[in-house]
Chain A
Amino acid sequence: MNPNNKVIQIRRISLSYKENGQKFPVLDDVSFDVAPGEFICIVGSSGGGKSTLLRILAGLQKQTEGKILNMPEQLGFVFQNFALFPWLDVESNVSFGLRMQGLSKSQIHKRVREEIDRIGLEGFEKSHPKELSGGMKQRVGIARALAIHPKVLLLDEPFSALDEITAKGLRHDLLRIHTQTKETVIMVTHLVEEAVELADRIIVMSPRPGKVRKIITNTMSRPRDTRSREFFKLVDEIEGVL
């Protein structure tokens, strides 16, 4: 069986720091599964260890205990503050991962073109990050992540640095792309409404130390009406858990 089609198993992940002989727990015994193609949102208050958990899943940080099984190697990561390379133009930022993979120029050009068209960056190919608005920067961040055709897309509060109108547009684009590509998505957010709008399942975490409080399956059909009674009921349920 293709390992990319296996359920990702996050098992008893804990992380703590030691400072002056004192132990500071950040994450405590976090466990959940992620099915292929699933859209998961991790919700919790700020400083609760959600982003740390995402970095552990991405292999950027090491947990003190626990293990992650069946995590594919090909990961895309979208950063809260975009993390675009300021010396590269849009096209080169999007192609960064492809160049690191050693793809041919024609393959890189084809993939970059696809992502630029799909995410709506036409006409900005030669612009540098400092010439772009926050929304456009995040589009570049998403295009860079999608260009490598990731098996799992990790997003760390991708819309929290944007105004609501821009964030709404990008949420719709993300959902559209997820429907097209069927990639597995794990997204961290502190906005309950955002999680209810996007996710198939919502992992609700408690803060200090970050612990899974409840896992809620979102059965609402897409596109979701963010003003419906059902929507608000689920938001209330999650806020009650938080």
Chain B
Amino acid sequence: MRYSHKIHQANQQKSPGIQRRQRITSFILIGAVIIFLLVFAETKTIDWWEFYRFFLSSLFSVAVAYIIAAFLALLLALGATKNKWLENILLPVLDVAQSFPTFALIPVLLAIFGTSRWVVIVFLVVTIIWPIVFTLITALKGEREDLGQAATIYNAHGLKRLWYFRLPSVFPAFISGSIIGWGEAWEALIGAEIIAKVLGVGSYLGKLGETGSVWQLVLGIAMYLFLIFILNQIIWLPLLNFSSRYQNES
């Protein structure tokens, strides 16, 4: 999923025929997964309601973490590109911070929050935030000079400049960064939930692994991937498509 948006962006340049074939392939894949799940769900006992409850708990953690991370990323990126002085201070700090191994944070978070959902949420915030911050910084630093001048000439200052010029101009980068961050969050979630023993897909799969229920584990992982794929199809790819109208002409 991490790089699928890049492929999709490239596809936007391709002919409608290619796009249609790829959409058909996606539906065939989805159909195959559904058939696989239906067939095996008949023969293997798996508590789907429990799985969905766990999945929704995990989705809640990822969604809350994403909202917090997106907001903080925006503040950090705007701060780091505000002026040369702030850039010289913030950029090295962000560079060091993003290379910090995030799993090393979990013991600290457990010490602070105990075995609560906040351990997972804060851990996911730290995971999601970096791709968004750095794609935003790149976009803000690469803003087209003439568009900025047009905004200045026509009195887009202060909050109006932010709302009517800066945010729309970095919207495609924000979506790209969000897709990467969102994908990394799902990867990190499993480990975090197992370690923090918090209700969610991670702890559910961890429990199946401990009990040696290999088939249920395979089905659980397949379902997990399928739901992430669906979220990608109904939320992120349409947003990525929509953001293409915000992009500058080459």
A97 at interface by CB-CB < 8 Å: yes
Tell me the A20-64 residues at the B interface (CB within 8 Å).
55, 58, 60
What is the distance, in angstroms, from A228's C-beta to the closest C-beta of chain B? 37
Report yes or no: B150 in contact with A100, Cβ–Cβ below 8 A.
Answer: no
Report yes or no: B153 in contact with A60, Cβ–Cβ below 8 A.
Answer: yes
| Chain A binding surface, main DSSP class | mixed
Least CB separation from B171: chain A residue: A87
Query: How many angstroms between the C-alpha atoms of A97 and B156 in the bound complex?
Result: 8
Enumerate chain A residues within 8 angstroms of B83, measured Cβ to Cβ.
none
What is the distance, in angstroms, from A137's C-beta to the closest C-beta of chain B? 9
B85 at interface by CB-CB < 8 Å: no
Report yes or no: B248 in contact with A100, Cβ–Cβ below 8 A.
Answer: no
Report yes or no: A96 in contact with B154, Cβ–Cβ below 8 A.
Answer: yes
Enumerate chain B residues within 8 angstroms of A133, measured Cβ to Cβ.
none
Interface size on B, residues (CB 8 A): 21
What is the distance, in angstroms, from A119's C-beta to the closest C-beta of chain B? 17
Least CB separation from A79: chain B residue: B146
Report yes or no: B149 in contact with A60, Cβ–Cβ below 8 A.
Answer: yes
Interface residues on A, range: 20 to 34
0/1 per residue, B156-194, Cβ < 8 Å to A? 100010001100110100000000000000000000000
Task: Give the number of residue pairs across the A-B interface with Cβ within 8 Å.
Answer: 58
Enumerate chain B residues within 8 angstroms of A84, measured Cβ to Cβ.
150
Report yes or no: B246 in contact with A87, Cβ–Cβ below 8 A.
Answer: yes
What is the distance, in angstroms, from B243's C-beta to the closest C-beta of chain A? 9
B152 at interface by CB-CB < 8 Å: yes
Report yes or no: B249 in contact with A100, Cβ–Cβ below 8 A.
Answer: no
Report yes or no: A85 in contact with B245, Cβ–Cβ below 8 A.
Answer: no
Report yes or no: B149 in contact with A148, Cβ–Cβ below 8 A.
Answer: no
Kindly identify which residue among A77, A96, A129, A144 contacts B164, using a CB–CB cutoff of 8 Å.
A96
8 extra interchain contacts, Cβ-Cβ under 8 A, other than A96-B150, A101-B155, A130-B249? A77-B153, A83-B147, A86-B247, A86-B248, A87-B168, A87-B171, A97-B155, A100-B160
8 pairs of A and B residues whose beta carbons are closest in the complex: A97-B154, A83-B146, A87-B246, A100-B155, A83-B150, A77-B153, A87-B168, A100-B156
Which B residues are within 8 Å of any A CB, using their own CB?
Answer: 144, 146-147, 149-150, 152-156, 160, 164-165, 168-169, 171, 245-249
Report 27 cross-chain contacts, Cβ distance below 8 Å, ordered by A residue: A55-B149, A58-B153, A75-B153, A79-B146, A83-B146, A83-B150, A84-B150, A85-B147, A85-B165, A85-B169, A86-B245, A86-B246, A86-B247, A86-B248, A86-B249, A87-B169, A88-B168, A96-B156, A97-B153, A97-B155, A99-B164, A100-B155, A129-B249, A130-B245, A130-B249, A144-B154, A148-B154
